[in-house]
Every structure is written in structure tokens, then in C-alpha cells.
Structure 1
Amino acid sequence: MTVRTREWQLAARPHGEPTPDDFRLVELDRPDPAEGQVVIRMLVMSVDPYMRGRMNAGKSYAARWEIGETMRGGAVGRVVASRSADVPEGSLVLADAAWRDVAVLDAAHVRVLPELPGIPPSYHLGVLGMPGLTAWAGLFRLAEFRAGDTVFVSGAAGAVGSLVGQFARLSGASAVIGSAGTPDKVRWLTEELGFTTAFDYHDGRVADLLAAAAPDGIDVYFDNVGGEHLEAAIGAFNEHGRAALCGAISAYNAVEPPPGPRNMFQMVSKKLSLRGFIVGDHTDLQPAFAAQVPEWLRAGDLVVRETVREGLENAVDTFLDLLRGGNTGKMIVRLAAEDG
């Protein structure tokens, strides 16, 4: 017997912005689970900016996808068949095996998730998952946030940025400033998430917009964008400012290396600390994160928004739209209903 699956494979390496021709959807027969394996029906899958780097031939912090290989990424699913006592049938699990509707995996490669009444499975890909821990580690460890800090977040309407701003607000920031790419996103940040102020970076030079939003300077910068935003933050920093460098989505599709900030000398004169990080190096923070964030959720203190697209066949278009800023909050693809 075999398990029939639909899976997205990498068809070609993109030059600049990816196109649908760089992917192909195939049907494959996978063998029934062997001893120690499970069959998972995927419920929701994640698309994330870091996946763009996995399409390139060069070295990145995440393993590259090979041509003809089924792509991978975070997903939550239900175990529909099991040959492992550790992961019984019916378990809700997290796996790095999305871009497919069904997967046959070693039980050791999945994590059984708690059943949280009233909390959708997709939250384990966002606020309770990798983006949430990324926001937590970057803000509290890398940027060494302290109550009273003025915090600036770029890409603030995304999965990570929207949580950074809220974590800072709930932890005593004196002001939280965000940048986003549309007026609707700016309104969402200020009217629903509690950001002190926010601006659309299309409305002028980021340095000017940030100076108007933070006339007394900033103490912490959480960077999801790089480029002009990073240069503006360096210029706006007070002495001993701290930055957590999480991403640089403005350069992900660049064919030539973009120029760096032109004001790096201010790192010396202002005694700044700019620290890049990968969340996988900070999993020791998981217990503290898992103790606090669900509590904020249950209390209604955190606003969570997802941009949801339906069906595996739409995964590529969803990913490409993500890279163009088409999401507010976490972008996910729903692959199956819980009762399906």
C-alpha cells in the first residue's frame, strides 16, 4: 500500500523576484509508514520571508532547497496513522514538512502540540510558534529591552513585527513606533495593536518620517527590512541604542548587493549595539516565552491577525504575495479543515 500526496517542488532557481515557473505541483506515492513513522494530514502551512533564501544556490542560515526537491516549511497537522507509541494517532503535531497535503515522517521529526481550547492550530505557526519566539528573543535578549525604552519596529504589520510592538507595549515601553507599507496597515498598528504612532514608508524618506515620529530619538530598533530603514534607525538612535537585526526583506530579491547604510560611523559616536540573530540559537527562551504569551492571549491583551489563503494549489501565489507585502500579520495557507 502507498500514501498518495500532492507536493510543491522547486523547479528552477529564480533570478531576482521568483515567478510561478520556479515551482511545480506534483503527485507522488509515498510508502505506508514503517516502524517509528507517522502519516500526517496537514491542516495549515506557513509561508515565511526566510524561504526566499532557500531558493538560492548560495549558502544561507537555512538549508537550501535543491532543484526537484519537495520544499519544506512549518506546518501543523493531524496524525492519521501511526507506528510510534510516542506520537499516537489523532495527535496534533508541528512538522517542518509543509508544501504538501500529506506527509510520511519519522516520529522523531515531529513535535506533539498541546490541545489549547479556543486557540486555532495555526497559532502554532505564528504567535505561539517561530515568529512569536523570534519577536521575544530579538526584543528581550538581543535588543535588551528595558521598560521606558522608545522602540521602533520596521515591517511592523508582519507576523514578527506586529508581535514585537505589542510585547514592547505590554512590557512598559514609553513609545512604540512602526513602519508599514499601506495606510490600512498603519491604521491597524495604531488603532488595534496599540502602537503609539506609525507611518507608511512610501510617504517620504524613512529618516524624515522616523524623525517626525520620534523627535526625542529611539532606544531600540527591531529590523525586519534593512536598507533605508536601518540607515534611518542608526540616525535616530540615542546613545547606547540597541538593534536586533532579524531580516532584510527589502534586499531579498536584489540581483546585485544593495548599498549598506551610509552612516555606520554613528555606531561609534553613539556607542550603539547592532546584533544579528537566528531564532534557532535561542530556543532556551522557549519556557519563558511559553509561560507569558498564552497568558497574554487568554487575557485578550494580544491582538493576533492572520492572512489566510485556501488550498495547497494556492501556496506559491501566497508565498509570492508575501514577498510583495500582501500580508497583515501571519500569512498561512489552510490545507484542510479540522473536520475534513
Structure 2
Amino acid sequence: MAKKLVIIDTDCGIDDAQAIMMALAAPGIKVLGITCVFGNATVENVCQNVLKVLSVCERTEIPVFRGSAGPLVGASYSLSDHFGSDGLGDVIVDKDPQWEQKVQGEHAVKAMLRLVSENKDQVSLVALGPLTNLALAVRLDPLYPQKLKDLYIMGGNTEGKGNVTLCAEFNFAMDPESAYVVLEEFHCPTHIASWEFACRNGLTWDFFDELINQDTPAARFMKNITSKCSAYSQDALKNKRDLYFGPCFVSYDAYAMAACIDNSVVMESVNCAVRVELQGLIGRGMMVLDRTNELKKTNNASVMTKCDVVKLSQMLIQSLRLPCKK
């Protein structure tokens, strides 16, 4: 059976690293390239983080492309230190001084356009960060979405609960205009793993301990980058996730990647039009579900609501059993 072709667009923080390793471990997936965008860290740090993950997993043949360093329009929020200032927990000391030479010269958006045009109707695009690169792609080629097989997004929210603002999820809040453009103009099959979906299908901290304490180089890498990160500490002060959903371990980007790898991991979803609020003083960046068709949009999205957490757990465990460097 032919492998599923995937492009990963990422702002590589710790959960992105987990999602990338999940894709690399999946036997039915071929990663054509990884495009980088600002978000969890500067785009320069994101590129270095992706290269580090590929090195750990001995998959350095996969090309890495540098993309957008800021939002489509206007000023961005200050970069989050949720996963440390570098996006991977501020614990990596052996930084690669040659990293820039290992990043492709082609811009990420141009690479997106080229790789999809070369594999028309075959590529699944998995977006794990702010959607700036995707918005620029559709601006350069309005027919780009029609050439995709499908699109998987980790981002947005469904209940008006925010994790960085009162009402908006991080990826959409970092570039609301790009999120708006993508959800309006990408008419390919679109699947959204929202913030609340991930939180409502969280895993236990006992599972997290099992995950990172496997005796493999990949697991040791994950244990290291989560070791000093408050987002991976059950002893840290309560955050918005714990307040709304109770204490749990959530590797956010892994939910979108798991759905791309095996759609049976999504047990229930809602198919409806969605739109991103741009004007609200409090609600800017919030995703709104139009289940009564008041917006009269011609494109819907499949918004995930229930996950097979047993399958997800198995995929996470497997993702840290990759053949890796000692």
C-alpha cells in the first residue's frame, strides 16, 4: 500500500516535537517536508528544534524550510514561554552552530506550493502552529487548497474558552487574520482538533510517566525537554486547562497528527461551518461554530469532539520507540 504523503507545518514546541515523532513512527506516513513558522518560539528557534528532533530520530533526510517570522498583519503577541524561551524547555546545551546550512534555501510557503503541485490531490497538510504560512500560500495560489487531499489543524476553540486570552486559543490568537483566511478559503476536507477537544480527551499523569520513562533514546529526549517545563509538571500552579477541565496530561498537537495518521482515533465530530472572530475586543481570535447555518458558508469543517484515548496512547508510546541515536 502506498504511504500517505504529509507536510507538517509547525512552530515546534514540545508538543509539536511529540507530534512530529508520531508521524515519523507511523509506517503508513511519508513526511515530504517540514515547514516552520513563528509561535512557540522565534522561527529561527523553531527551525533548530525541528532539526534537533529529526537528528534524534535519525531522519535528517527530511527537508526543513524556514517560513513566516510574524503574523500576516499587525503586531503579534509576545512569544509564549509556555515551553521555555527556545520552545524545547531551555535544556538543550549542544546547539548546532551549522543549523542554518541545514535549512533549505527555499521559503516554506514556496515549498508548500511546490510539494503539493508535484503531488496533486495526494498530500495531507498538518498545521500545528499559527496558520500564517497557509494563509500566504492561498494568497500566492488561490487554487492551492483544491490541490490538497485534506488539512488537519490543531487550533481554535469551540466553547469560548481561551488559553492565552479570555476567549482564544494560542495558535489562532497569534495570527487571527491567517486563521480567518484559512477557514474561509481552504475548501478541501478540513479537520480541526480544538483546544477544548484536546483537554476533554486528556491522559493521566501516570501515563505521561510511563511514556517518558521508556528505555529508548527518543523517550530520554522527551524526558529531558519536559524536565524543567512547568507545562509538564503536575505540581505547577493551576493553569486554565486545569481550572476548566481538571488535571491531566495533554500533548495538544498529537491529537491532530493522530487523526491524520489514523482517522479512526476520532470517534465523534461535528461537521459545520466555522469562522474566526477578528473584531471583538474580548473575542478576537475565537473560533465560532455555525451549527445552524446562519453564515451560509459553502465550506464546512469537521470539528473533533471525542477521541479514542486508548489508540492515542498507543500511538504516543510507539512514537518514542523510534530507531534513534545513542
Common fold: TM-score over 0.5: no
**Structure number with higher strand proportion:** 1
Higher relative contact order (CA 8 A, sep 6+): 2
Q: Which has the larger radius of gyration?
A: 1
TM-score (norm 2): 0.37
TM-score (norm 1): 0.36
